[in-house]
Amino acid sequence: MKYLVTGAAGFIGSHIVEELLALNKDVVGFDNLSNSSLEIINQLKSHENGKKLHFIHADITHLEDCRRACLGVDFVIHEAALGSVPDSIENPLKYHSNNTTGILNLLTAAKENNVKRFVFASSSAIYGDNINLPLKESEEPSPKSPYAITKLTGENYCQFFHTQGLETVSLRYFNVFGPRQNPQSQYAAVIPKFIDLYKKDTAPQIDGDGSQTRDFIYVKTVAKINIEACDNNSIPLGKAINVASGNKISILELSTLLKEKTNSTKTHTFGPERAGDIKHSHANIDILKQFTCIQSDQDGFSEALSSTLLSSGLSETGLL
């Protein structure tokens, strides 16, 4: 079996490629390297099964690139996307061009090449500020940003192509964290950003009052879920599925926890709320549990957070 992973040099995509190589699978990595580095691909090729990885430097906005990448592929795992809510508000045309045109190109190429199944990285952002927590997949979408709109549109295209004979699954990621998450980006996710600042003994700024909550899930768990979604026959096809831990933690609690784990002397400050930000995020993962094994206890989050700290050059008691 051969797997195409788009966004292969990115945060989640690279972990999926790594997991596939560990399973000795044939992998086509696809990335335009606009928000990632060839160094990640070279690191993946140094894996003991690295010869199983074929990398294509190409762009999902080009249909012919997608057609070439899908040749002889059994499964497509589509991770490539622009992923910032604030940036999408400033640049909606860019997000439509990349995220919406990109998935339509890939779905078209996958169907033309008789791909067995297409797994799409969607987002919990499609729910908006829904107060019916924990969120079930049946809740009405209410996207608050162009980014979220592109993800919902991607789900709709997946549903359509499923009716046309291409098996599809949309995975609604909640808050994914772990190694290789870039803390230097202007729109960095909260965990790597706060780790980086506390490591430098610098006070991070919380957007708003810190009462907003998030449902975090470890990236290595997400990688395994993606692979299971490719060949597990019990997964509901043509549907969207929440991918989360089923637990929630406030940003204020998270910041306090990271300060303790890094032995920082600084304390967070507070700033204005971020445009398009969702107040609370908490998933119902009953459907996810039906086809995959997932650790949904808070100890699992703590252990994964410790692994992330170690990968960032820290131990729970300070600098290594």
Tell me: the pLDDT tens digits for 193-208? 999 899 899 999 999 9
Residues of the chain with CATH 3.40.50.720: 2-176+216-243
pLDDT in tens, 54-70: 999 999 999 999 999 99
pLDDT of residue 316: 33
CATH class of 2-176+216-243: alpha beta
Task: Check residue 261 and give its pLDDT.
Answer: 85
- Which pLDDT value is given to residue 188? 63
Judging by beta carbons within 10 Å of its beta carbon (0-12, 13-18, 19+), is residue 218 exposed, middle or buried?
A: buried
- Percentage of the residues of the chain whose pLDDT score is greater than 90: 80
What are the angstrom distances between the C-alpha of 267 and each of 197, 273, 286? 11, 18, 37
Q: Which residue type sits at 282?
A: H
- Predicted pLDDT of residue 128: 94
Q: Tell me the residue type at 82.
A: L
Buried-state track 58-82, b at ≥16 Cβ within 10 A, e below 16: bbbbebebbbebbeebbbbbbbbbb
Distance, CA of 54 to CA of 59 (rounded, Å): 15
Portions of the chain given CATH number 3.90.25.10: 178-214+246-319
Q: Which amino acid is at 129?
A: D
Q: Catalogue the active-site residues.
A: 147
Architecture of the domain defined by 178-214+246-319: Alpha-Beta Complex (3.90)
* pLDDT of amino acid 295: 52
Centroid of chain to Cα 155? 15
Residues (pLDDT < 70) of the chain are: 184-188, 293-299, 310, 312-320
Q: What is the pLDDT of residue 187?
A: 57
Residue 303: what pLDDT? 75
Q: What average pLDDT does the chain have?
A: 91
pLDDT at 314: 38
Distance between CA 109 and CA 87 in Å, rounded? Answer: 28
